[in-house]
Amino acid sequence: MQTRRDTLKQSMAVASLLAATGLFPRDAFAFNKAAFEARSIADVAKAYGAGAPTESKDVTLTAPDIAENGAVVPMAVASSLPGIKHLMVLVERNPSALVAKFDVTDAVEANFSTRAKMGQTSDVYAVAITNDGKALYAKKEVKVTLGGCGG
């Protein structure tokens, strides 16, 4: 079995190699500025060419009820539906709603976990955009608490 340390060593070695070969296509690095500046869930969906979002049981959002600290809030988005193009996590009351957008391919499951920053207690959305331009969502309120000595 490979230890974590070996993995690391290997990672560092290949890093420069991959960079040098230019293995990653440039178009993989598109960044949808409009989507990341949008304030509402609907505007984010629109920025990705989808219609008005509707609530759906086929989209799953995993997030805690209470976050001990808003700086790191675990969130997972998943969908059981076929034909999902994008999965996104959004925090409604953040300065910009969109946290992350993942592209689904045949090679990965429609299931991603990441961690978001939350400025305050807010509804959190998991949104799925289908190949035919539908936006489906699940939502949940996550409370952000004040912790520690507060100084």
Closest to 88 (Cα-Cα) out of 77, 73, 104, 74: 77
HSE-up (13 A, CA, CB side) for residue 150 = 3
HSE-up (13 A, CA, CB side) for residue 12 = 5
Please list every residue from 36 through 95 that binds another protein, using CB under 8 A. 36, 64-69, 71-74, 76, 91, 94-95
Determine which helix (DSSP H) or strand (DSSP E) holds 53, and give its type and residue range.
none
Q: Does 132 bind another protein (CB under 8 A)?
A: no
Query: Which phi and psi angles does 23 have, rounded to 5°?
Result: -65, -25
When binding is defined by CB under 8 A, the residue of 34, 51, 58, 114 that contacts another protein is 114
When binding is defined by CB under 8 A, the residue of 54, 57, 82, 105 that contacts another protein is 105
Q: Which residues bind another protein (CB under 8 A)?
A: 1-2, 4-5, 7-8, 10-12, 14-15, 18-19, 23-25, 28-32, 35-36, 64-69, 71-74, 76, 91, 94-96, 98-103, 105-109, 111-118, 143, 145-151
